[in-house]
Amino acid sequence: MNLLLDTHIAIWAMNDDPALSAKARELILDPDNTIYYSAVSVWEVLLKHASRPEDIPFNEKDFSAACKEAGFIPLGLTDKHMLAVSTLTRPDACKAHNDPFDRLLLAQAKVENFSFLTHDEQIPDYQEKCIIPV
> What residue ranges of the chain have pLDDT lower than 50?
none
CATH architecture for residues 2-133: 3-Layer(aba) Sandwich (3.40)
| pLDDT on residue 40 | 98
Burial 110-119 (b: 16+ CB within 10 A, else e): bbbebbbbbe
The reported pLDDT for the residue numbered 97 is 85
**DSSP code of residue 87:** G
Q: Write down the pTM of the prediction.
A: 0.95
What pLDDT is recorded for position 15? 86
Q: Quick one: pLDDT at residue 101?
A: 95
Give the start-to-end residue ranges of the domains of the chain: 2-133
Q: What pLDDT, on a 0 to 100 scale, did the predictor assign at position 57? A: 83
Q: Spell out the residues 6+ positions from residue 76 whose beta carbon is closer than 8 angstroms to its own.
A: 39
